[in-house]
Structure 1
Amino acid sequence: MRRLLLFVALAAVVVAVAVWVADRPGQIAIHWQGWRVDTSVAMLLLVTAALALAFALGLRFLGWIVRVPRRWRRWIQERRRRRGYQALTVGMVAVAAGDPEEAVRQARRADVLLDEPPLTMLLSAQAAQLNGDEAAARRYFTAMLDRRETEFLGLRGLLMQAMRAGDSPAALELARRARRLRPDTPWVLTTLFELESRAGQWRGAEATLAEAQRRRVLPVETARHRRAAVLLEQARAAEADDRLRDAGDLAARAHDEDRSFAPATAAYVRLLGATDRQRKAERVAEKAWPLGPHPDIVAAYAALAAHADPVDAARRIERLVAGLPDHVESRMAVAAAALRAGLWGEARRQLEAVVAERPSSRAYALLAEVEEGETGDPVAGQKWLRLAADAPPAEAWTCTACASVAAAWHAICPACGAVDGMRWQVPAGAPLLPRTAESA
């Protein structure tokens, strides 16, 4: 609409000028080099306008002629760029599809067509890795460190190579460099935490975990549990150095971070007992039991009165589990204490309730001991041993990464090195008890 109005206005101006000139006729004579030209004012204006238009069109055509080579070069470059990006895309697809030959071929083609090393170096490094040439991939990743825009990608590639090769010191240094470059990247913080934990650098791991929680990289509950695990390992190290006070303080912090974390509770209770704070140790265990019942807490609580009479010891265990008396671990703890005290009826009652709810080889094995202790007949418990052989295995500290079983909790899996992977659960595919009473 605006263009139409502009055209109408321009046309009106031209018509007005033409009418004005037509109303004022006149003659013009031009003498030049022996020539004489007689014409009207209107004709002179028309010829002048035509010459100006022809001159403008000529200049425009001349400019187009001058720009043709540059446009041709630009078209050639754009065509190479399109083909280069196409090769780059096909190469990435080949990497994802696991086709090393096609990936290498497209990487070379993209490198020839594109004058953008940051893009082609990444594809070349991935193609080399896919082809099994780790040395070439390392060269590409190292070259990427020299460019600001690719430094982080190069660090990540070298870090992954170091971790696969088991070079923990190099991986740790690369992870710290990556954190300095991109401190808000989630995988950098989690990887650095795992590497520091595997290296036993628990203070550094605690600081990295605090930074990850501040940046909201981990859920709150996960972060608190991992901090409890890190603090517990620091407490163990302090205890190994005979710094019992420091160990107790660290264990207290671990317990406060996650009160359902049984290893931290058990360590805190045991260290309180070692520093002659038995009553506080008992209160800690009794309050923590409903949150995370576990045999480790029972053992630590029983050790507070190791020389107590067996009947008194059984009563103490009943006081420990009073906050959650019907839980399987509560019944197992009471049954084991009653068995040691010779209270066969109580032990049998608790164990029968356990096998009715969650049968396990551990419960049946204790029933066999009750049967033998009550009757004095070594053969009397064989029926329970046969049931134990076919029952599901008892819970144990099991690594969620490799399914290996450990006798005690560790922050680092002794088998595969997974960080904070040990869980109290029934092992997957764990061997059952032997079927013969003699070997049992």
Structure 2
Amino acid sequence: MLWSLFKIILFVVAVAALTIGAEWLMESDGGLLIQFGGWELSLGVLQAAIGAVLLVVVVWLGLMVLGFLHAVFKFLNGDETAISRYFDRNREQKGYREVGEAMMALASGDGAAALSKATKAERHLQKPELTTLLVAQAAEMQGDKIRADQAYKKLLGDNRTRFVGVRGLMKAELAKGNTDVAMKLAEKAFALQPRHVDTQDTLLKLQADNGDWTGARQTLGAKLKYGALPRDVHKRRDAVLALSEAGVLLNGEAGEGEQLAAIEANKQSPDLVPAAALAARALVEQGKKRQAVKVITKAWIAQPHPDLAAAFAAIEPDEVPAARLKRFRALTKHREGDADTRMLLAELHIAAEDFSAARTALGDLAESQPTQRSLTLMAAIERGEGADDAVIRAWLAKAVTAPRGPQWVCDNCNHIHGTWVPVCDNCGGFDTLSWKTPPESEASVMAGSDMLPLIVAAPTSDPTEADVDVVDGAEQTEAAKSDPERATEPTPEPPHADYVEPDAPVDGEILAPEVEVKH
């Protein structure tokens, strides 16, 4: 509104200025006298002004004619496009001007103006690498997906613009959620320009999301080859992908190829806990137990983890608790002050019914770093030493609301995963999981119903005898209150490490299934 008013005022001012100027010229005395040889021409002031304007026009026309004659001369000398270029020159100038204005409109976020200018530039210029791309981007900004797809498809017909067209269609399919089509387009774009970093990353993510670990490893190798990835980062991520290839080891369906992939993953990144655990199981299946021990020990030195302890136990699954305790010394002598090592030793001593040694191994961990695992172990120790049920259940009550301790947490979004995965389930980040204690606001706490079998005594055959009330957060049966002998009966054995339902088997379980305690 204001701009229109300003233009109107400017036009009125210009007309008034021209009128005043013409009137002044008409009223002015004097003029212009031109003499040439015996020829003389006298002009008034207004006539001289008009003559000057006409002279400028004549000079401009003369230059245009000279330019045309030059083009004709080049055409006659064999340049077949000289005349067409002459007439196209003005159109090109307009086209480039429209291109510049379209780019400015795109930068400012004005999609409608950008699309209008890009369309005009497309009519004036024969350069699809500029105009068609601008049309596509402006259409995307406007939300016109059909026009954008049409523009990108036009780019496919030229070798110079085919890569841009493929990438544009790939992004459009990603926006629609068509990941299968997007991955095929990403593979095509990668084949056209394997050095393009953004295409490499997009293809790698799509392959990882679709479980194409072999293709993802090839893409990762290309990133290393073309300098888009440091060698140490490549080794780590290649190990993650090799581990993902061997993931079927978890359900016991691995063949020789998967076993080799697990071992290769461990060689690439010895500190990668899942790779070490799977590699150890693969080596055990091959009868190479000593190598399996070395693999787990090396990973334990880098980072103690319950999965490593379970894999170490699975090397000799049928050994008695005393023999297991002795064999585990090769592992527990490393990182002795670490919480996982101390809790592992406590579990082993509990299984061997050496509750005094278990208390010594656990130390003050239940008070200084209270977690569900350390508090449950403390309850098991108290039970083994013959403590009252009230003491045992007090420890278990604390475990109900205690944090779980370290878990697999995404470094990008802090999402917690129950097991290690190569791609975050929440944000889609690749190789972003770390074994660490999650932020307090993100930490997941085991629900009270999950801990209930640890707190409530074994059910009796008569349901009426199991009336329950809550005392200091721990649950106690009315039958146990009225029967002193029943009150001294041992509670069910707390599980080691992370709790699972009683009927669920634990792979590589360290503790003996049943521990008979005599008071």
Give the TM-score normalised by structure 1. Answer: 0.74
Given candidates 380, 394, 400, the residue that maps to 2:405 is: 394
2:166 aligns with one of 131, 139, 155: 155
Deviation at 1:124, TM superposition (A): 2.4
Q: Distance in 2 between matches of 1:307 and 1:172?
A: 48
Map of 2:421 onto structure 1: 410
Is 2:202 aligned against 1:188?
no
Asked if the contact 2:96/2:121 (under 8 Å) is kept, the reply is no
Deviates more, 1:213-222 or 1:127-136: 127-136
Match of 1:295 in 2: 306
Q: CA separation in 1, counterparts of 2:150 and 2:389?
A: 70
Residue 101 of structure 2 is aligned to residue 87 of structure 1: yes
In 2, are the aligned partners of 1:412 and 1:421 still within 8 Å (CA)? Answer: yes
Structure 1 range deviating more: 316-325 or 347-356: 347-356
Q: Which residue is equivalent to 1:175?
A: 186
From the superposition, tell whether residues 345 and 168 of structure 1 become closer, same or farther in structure 2 (CA, over 3 Å): same
Q: CA, structure 1 residues 239+418, in 2 after alignment: closer, same or farther (shift >3 Å)?
A: same
Greater Cα shift, 294-303 or 116-125: 116-125
Shift of residue 150, structure 1, vs aligned partner: 2.1
Identity level (%) = 29
2:466 is aligned to: none
Match runs of 1:258-337 below 5 Å: 258-337=269-348
* Cα distance in 2 between the residues matched to 1:103 and 1:109: 10
Q: Secondary structure at the match of 2:408?
A: strand
Equivalent in the alignment of 1:50: none
SS in structure 2 of the partner of residue 259 of structure 1: coil
Matches within 5 A, 1:335-414: 335-354=346-365, 358-385=369-396, 387-388=398-399, 391-414=402-425
Q: 1:165 and 1:344, CA in 2 relative to 1: closer, same or farther beyond 3 A?
A: farther
Q: Distance in 2 between matches of 1:77 and 1:142?
A: 26
SS in 2 for 1:88: helix
Q: Is the 8 A contact 1:94 1:102 kept in 2?
A: no
Give the conservation status (yes or no) of the 8 Å contact 1:122–1:140.
yes
Separation of aligned partners in 1, 2:438 and 2:287? 37
In structure 1, C-alpha distance between the alignment counterparts of 2:249 and 2:328, rounded to whole Å = 29
Flag the 1:93–1:309 CA change in 2: closer, same or farther, 3 A. Answer: same
Match of 1:230 in 2: 241
Give 1:370 deviation, angstroms.
2.8
Please tell me whether the aligned partners of residues 100 and 131 of structure 1 are also in contact (alpha carbons under 8 angstroms): yes
Residues 68-121 of structure 1, C-alpha deviations (whole Å, 9 max, x = no match)? 6799978854752453133122222134xxx54444344445445655332232
Query: Whole-Å Cα distance in 1 between the matches of residues 154 and 345 of structure 2?
Result: 65
Displacement of 1:62: 11
- Separation (CA, whole Å) in 2 of partners of 1:133 and 1:63: 47
Q: Which amino acid aligns with 2:335?
A: L
1:227-263 CA distance string (max 9 Å, x none): 1122222223478685543333222111100000011
Aligned to 1:22: none
- Which sits farther off after the overlay, 190-199 or 101-110? 101-110
Contact 2:102 2:113 in 1 (8 A): no
Deviations 1:388-422 (A, max 9, x none): 45654422223345543332222234455543333
Measured at CA, do residues 61 and 260 of structure 1 come closer, stay the same or move farther in structure 2, by a change above 3 Å? Answer: closer
Which consecutive residues of structure 1, in runs of 5 or more, have no partner in the other structure? Answer: 1-59
- Cα distance change on mapping 1:105 and 1:337 into 2, 3 Å: farther
* 1:331-370 deviations in Å (ceiling 9; x for gaps): 2222222233333333333434545765444333433333
Counterpart in the other structure of 1:419: 430
Look up the SS of the partner of 1:174 in the other structure.
helix
- Rounded Cα–Cα distance in structure 2 between residues aligned with 1:227 and 1:170: 25
Show the counterpart of 2:66: 67
CA shift, 1:424, in A, is: 1.9
Q: Residue type of the partner of 1:258? A: S
Q: Find the aligned partners of 1:240 and 1:66 in 2 and give their Cα distance.
A: 85
Root mean square deviation of aligned Cα: 3.4
Q: What secondary structure does 1:289 align onto?
A: helix
User: Quick check: 1:193–1:208 contact (8 Å CA) kept in 2?
Assistant: yes
User: How far apart, in 1, do the equivalents of 2:216 and 2:346 lie?
Assistant: 41
Letter of the 1:67 partner, please give it. L
In 2, Cα distance between the equivalents of 1:393 and 1:101? 54
CA distance in 1, matches of 2:388, 2:202: 57
Letter in 2 for 1:66: V
Distance in structure 2 (CA, Å) of the matches to 1:62 and 1:90: 34
SS in 1 for 2:435: strand
Q: In the aligned structure 2, how far is the partner of 1:338 from the partner of 1:310?
A: 8
- Residue 254, structure 1, aligned to residue 265, structure 2: yes
TM-score (norm 2): 0.64
Task: Map 1:14-25 to 2 at 5 A.
Answer: none
8 Å contact 1:314–1:338 — kept in the other structure? yes
Distance 1:341 1:250 in 2: 36
Question: Which of 334-343 and 298-307 deviates more?
Answer: 334-343
